[in-house]
Amino acid sequence: MTARATMSLLGRVPATWQVAPLRVAGEFFGGGTPDTGNPSFWEGDIPWLSSQDVRGRWVRATSRAITKEGLNGSSARMARCGDMVFVMRSGILRHTLPSAIVGTDMAINQDIKVLRLRGPWIAEYLSYVVTGLQTALLARWRSEGTTVESLDLDLMRRTVFPVPPEREQRAIADFLNRETDGIDSLVAKKQRLIGLLEEKRAALISHAVTKGLDLNVPMKDAGIGWLGSVPVHWSQRPLKSCIKPMSTISYGIVQPGEPLDAGVPFVQTTNISGELLDISHLQNTSSEIAAAYPRTILREGDVLLGIRASVGAAHVVPRELDGCNLSRGVARIETGVQLLPQFLVLYLRSSMVREYWGLMKEGSTYEDVSIAKVRMLPVPLPPSHEQRDIVRLIVNETRSLDELIGRIAGAAACLGEYRAALITAAVTGQIDVRAYRRDPEEALEAN
């Protein structure tokens, strides 16, 4: 196909295609929220769409519904089946551009804009264009200087888009429906396999740190429902009795002030989420503020524990963090001679301790566990040599599982990249979809 230059984000598209600003594609309009204090406006049978409901290419269900009185008594408006919707205001706009096709009539709120298409535009094709050019569109449409990420409607309306003939739009949409369904199915299978491997990894850790390595050892009831039975020769103590004498379990700086270019680095919950310890982007506080929290000055070999937001995330402090401090959401634990820090971290990551945190969490807007609950955590305590054997086994066994999980995750990521490239190529006319068909697994192997 002969290509020609355009004034859009696309560079070049086939000469037989038209290009036009999005404002000619149809009518944009927004919605609103009925009075939340009026019970007659809610729990009705009209689906009410908010930004959290816009997921995937189609939206057919919502988390809330309003009544006819709520619709008529507010600025909420109805989107029809086949309309396109865009999330215009949400923190998620930092990373992605949520848009979808409406699968059933529904009311919309003020953070949503509806595009009711007219003329030669086909919603499924336009949806793929937005997906394929998402990164460039997000950079162009996002408003500057706002406290909450939002899109500029005027910039959206002025952006030039490709408009193939209707038959070709339909062919592209049908092609991408078929191809992306196949890719998504493969990705889902790989994600399920990752989930099974992660379950196996978690079960291995949980069994080793509460049952030991000897399958024939006599067991005793721990006296705690979520902990079950433990080897008869193990002791059991609250965590506060397993720490170094004269130390205490404490959380860090409550008000660290504005981030500084230089000063004392401190670890936050964002640095310890999951099983990854990210120390590449630590914020700094002043030496005066850090000095007011001497009990949370870190030393190599201490244990970090997330007690807010990332509840339960646990890590052994590496040498690079020696002398750093903590935020309010992270606790410092200095273990005594009878408890290896590596063993404690594995125990803190076990399914049994997760159940304990679930029972002890506080706060309605975020997860929060008090220091008192951390100090009272029951800890099964094997002899030191058994702790070392358990740590060694888990490190060896989980290393191979982690490598396998990493390979599968990498394959899934490659499929995702191939999917994105395929969409972009199709909606910009770089491939003739009438003659193109490729197996996703072959594409993955080729990459």
User: What is the pLDDT, as a whole number, of residue 368?
Assistant: 84
Cα distances (Å, whole numbers) of residue 127 to 54, 57, 104, 178, 351: 13, 7, 16, 15, 41
Tell me the β-bridge partners of 101.
58, 84
Residues 6 or more apart in contact with residue 252 via CB below 8 angstroms: 266, 267, 293, 296, 325, 326, 327, 328, 329, 330, 331, 332
Tell me the β-bridge partners of 312.
none
User: What is the pLDDT, as a whole number, of residue 275?
Assistant: 75
The domain locations on the chain are 3-163, 165-229+390-447, 235-381
Which of 351, 114, 344 minimizes the C-alpha distance to 242? 344
In CATH, the number for domain 3-163 is: 3.90.220.20
Which of 284, 291, 315 minimizes the C-alpha distance to 302? 315
pLDDT digits (tens, 9 = 90+) for 355-371: 998 888 765 545 788 99
Do 8 and 137 form a contact (C-beta atoms < 8 A)? no
Domain 235-381: state its class: alpha beta
> d(Cα 34, Cα 67) in Å, to the nearest integer?
9
Query: Could you tell me the fold of the domain covering 165-229+390-447?
Result: Helix Hairpins (1.10.287)
Q: What is the DSSP string of 166-204?
A: HHHHHHHHHHHHHHHHHHHHHHHHHHHHHHHHHHHHHHH
**3 state DSSP class of 62:** coil
Do the domains spanning 3-163 and 165-229+390-447 agree at the CATH topology level?
no
pTM of the model: 0.74
Q: What is the DSSP string of 202-213?
A: HHHHHHHHHH-S
- Stretches in the chain below the pLDDT threshold 70: 1-10, 144-147, 274, 362-366, 435-447
Which of 431, 415, 426, 434 minimizes the C-alpha distance to 181? 415
User: What is the pLDDT, as a whole number, of residue 360?
Assistant: 81
- The tokens of 212 are what? 């030991």
Do 415 and 440 form a contact (C-beta atoms < 8 A)? yes
Q: CB neighbours (10 Å) of residue 255? A: 9
Long-range contacts from 145-152, C-beta under 8 angstroms, 24+ separation: 148/89, 148/90, 148/91, 149/89, 149/90, 149/91, 149/92, 149/93, 149/94, 150/88, 150/89, 150/90, 150/93, 151/86, 151/87, 151/88, 151/89, 151/93
Dihedral sign computed on CA atoms, order 207, 209, 214, 216: negative
User: What is the pLDDT, as a whole number, of residue 323?
Assistant: 94
User: What is the pLDDT, as a whole number, of residue 2?
Assistant: 43
Tell me the β-bridge partners of 66.
42
User: What is the pLDDT, as a whole number, of residue 218?
Assistant: 96
Q: How far is CA 268 from the centre of its chain?
A: 17
Conformational region of residue 153, where left means phi above 0, alpha means psi within -120 to 50, and beta covers everything else = alpha
